Structure 1
Amino acid sequence: MLCWLATPGERFAEAIAAGIDVSASAAWTLAEIAAAARQAGRPARVHLKADTGLGRAGAMPGDWPGLCDLAAALQAEGLIEAFGVWSHFAFADAPGHATVQAQIGAFRDAVDIAEKAGLAPTVRHLANSAATLVSPEAHFDLVRPGVSVYGLSPGPEVGPPAQFGLRPAMSLVSHAALVKRVPAGTGVSYAHRYTTARETTLALVPLGYADGIPRAATNIGEVLFGGRRRRIAGTVCMDQFVLDVGDDEVAAGDEVRLFGPGDRGEPTADDWAAALGTINYEIVTRIGQRVPRVYV
């Protein structure tokens, strides 16, 4: 397990004692990790991160040699093990983009500098989901698939999931909490952003934006309910949203399938992403802690 986002004062000693790998992009981080290793009474296993072109975490080329020299000195003291060297792509989901090869070259240079400083990293890693799927030259010793573990494609330029043998692994399912008949002209949910055109049946679904259902899905998001796709009717609330099911026979307790692999006609995470102008990553990762997980 690698923990790589840290701020000054982080509880590195606990991570080191638990055998969790930590990462450093700057000298201050290495200094704090070394101090924590003394406190934990065991060396920290560290992955040094180089910025090869993403402009996010990682040491810039001008700072990288110094970071490697410091790591080598701390390793000689027995405080750290420089276990890995790593970086991250900016455009791996656009495989033909010029930055992909440029970053691979910059990463090789960073590894060379680390080795010249006396380090011998056990793992070199650069590839995210997209590079894991379509850029074998970026695999090095270890790959870091993210969204593809969900069985999703990192993007249209990479290719559809089925092209790589991927199947969406996550389904979001609820059940109707209430079903009731209402007259024509009934305003539905906050601000009455939906009004019934005729006498109809409304179904209440107990999921809302506190659970990760985007409020922007108001009158846009679709679910599978009662054998058909239904569009959310009215404002998505903190804990619930409403469906207008017309005269169809439904009952409290009936399954509501928000997204899944699509085998039953339900929307997919890609469908939700397209409807909301976002990416499938956001759809599957924003589901809140209070939604029970069932692992199959």
Structure 2
Amino acid sequence: MKYTNSWVEISKANLEYNLRQFKKLIGSNVKLMSVVKSNAYGHGLLEISKICNKNKNVDWFGVVNLEEALYLRKNKISKPILVLSYYDLDKKQITLAIKNNISLVAYNSKQIKYISSISKKLKKNANLHLKFDSGISRLGVFEKEIIKLAKLITISNYLKLEGIFTHYASAEETNQSFTLKQTKLLNELVSKLNIKVPLIHAACSAATLINKKYHLNLIRLGISLYGLYSIENNNLKNKFKLKPILSWKTKVIQVKSLKKGSTIGYGRTFKVKSNKEIAILRVGYNDGYDRKLSNNSFVLIKGKKCKLVGRVCMNLIMVDITGKRVKVGDEVILIGKQGKNIISADQIAKNLKTINYEVVTRINPLLKRIIK
């Protein structure tokens, strides 16, 4: 079931522009992975993947779990897919992964032995990527264990060590010393293994932009695939232009006049100090429009900023349209551009004291995603 209270529009042209920009940066010897985990950071897993599957600049897909990977295969996404995070050791699921040529992360011997046993029964090799914890203290294992796991993979006739990767802890920060250290540790580990490993990868969006040393032979393009930055460096942003691909829209469903002294919404948190006109919009926190934006944000109607008044409700919000000649049915921009004005995910994130990732990823996956 699709939920039609509000909707998301995706710019195919902007997505393809961002991919071209990154391919120019990394060159022909480095592969590009489109990270489409968590519903493509709220942009629409299948919608984004279909575009990327046909795009010559995309070599790989990165997903968070096996369910996402199998969903893509079921929907005819043909390029290589890597499951980057946790999966259950379920016979049916692992069998489907191997049959569908889905590469799996590995970070313990139990996984490797189990996958090897399934591969043997199928008489089909499974591709594994070892996850090296080089300092983030999250999913993955340290050097000594990686060496043991690599040996376990190489002695199996049914497993292929397709990749080794790590994840940076602070790639977006000005001080790059820890990211350089993590890269050094990864390179040293690969040298110690003395095994030919096709793919060595570490770079997220920020790392890709900041230093070519981080590119290795595959980058994992996440937030910046969608035209958003995770870095604060304005000089770098100005040099490397990205185009946001997401617009989030709704419509005006009612217009009403309020007299001085009226209050608006739950808790009566907004008191009308002079006669006002307000519009009621069909969007709320069920859509992913954060309740903390109550009395603390704007939307665009007819290209003009209209302030939120009152609390964000489950399915509705109210905005001040005094003097703006707004009518029922008018299109409303929650994120995006209208006329000369823009409301960005970054602006909303600033209001919420969070990051742009959270703003877009929390948009309800049941909302319709429309490719433009």
TM-score, L = length of structure 1: 0.91
| 1:207/1:41 CA distance change after superposition, 3 Å | farther
Aligned length: 290
Mapped partners of 2:283, 2:267: distance in 1: 19
Q: What does the per-residue CA deviation read over 1:3-49, in whole Å, with 9 as the maximum and x for residues that have no partner?
A: 12224434222222222211111222222322343455422111111
The reply to whether residue 46 of structure 1 matches residue 128 of structure 2 is yes
Q: Which of 77, 89, 106 is residue 24 of structure 1 equivalent to?
A: 106
Report if the CA contact (8 A) 1:161-1:167 is conserved.
no
Report if the CA contact (8 A) 1:48-1:84 is conserved.
yes
The reply to whether residue 135 of structure 1 matches residue 211 of structure 2 is yes
Show the counterpart of 2:83. Answer: 3
Q: Which structure 2 residue ranges, 5 or more long, are not aligned?
A: 1-80
Report if the CA contact (8 A) 1:183-1:196 is conserved.
yes
- Structure 1 residue 63: deviation in Å? 1.5
Which structure ranks higher in relative contact order (CA pairs < 8 Å, sequence separation ≥ 6)? 2
Show the counterpart of 1:94. Answer: 173
| 1:189/1:40 CA distance change after superposition, 3 Å | farther
Show the counterpart of 2:71. Answer: none
Mapped partners of 1:84, 1:286: distance in 2: 31
Which residue identity does 1:94 align to in structure 2? E
Q: What does the per-residue CA deviation read over 1:59-102, in whole Å, with 9 as the maximum and x for residues that have no partner?
A: 1123121111111122xx2x221111111101110143310110
Mapped partners of 2:176, 2:349: distance in 1: 23
Q: Secondary structure at the match of 2:143?
A: coil
Report if the CA contact (8 A) 1:93-1:158 is conserved.
no
Mapped partners of 1:202, 1:263: distance in 2: 21
Mapped partners of 1:36, 1:195: distance in 2: 65
Bigger Rg over Cα: 1
| 1:293/1:15 CA distance change after superposition, 3 Å | same
Q: Secondary structure at the match of 1:154?
A: coil
Show the counterpart of 2:4. Answer: none
Following superposition, which runs of at least 4 residues in structure 1 exceed 4 angstroms of deviation? none
Show the counterpart of 1:73. Answer: 155
Show the counterpart of 1:62. Answer: 144
Write the mapping of 1:1-296 to structure 2, written as runs, cut at 5 A. Answer: 1-10=81-90, 11-38=93-120, 40-74=122-156, 77=157, 79-114=158-193, 116=194, 119-157=195-233, 159=235, 161-260=237-336, 264-296=340-372
TM-score, L = length of structure 2: 0.73
Q: Secondary structure at the match of 1:273?
A: helix
Q: Which structure 1 residue ranges, 5 or more long, are not aligned?
A: none
Q: Percent identity?
A: 28
Mapped partners of 2:242, 2:292: distance in 1: 28
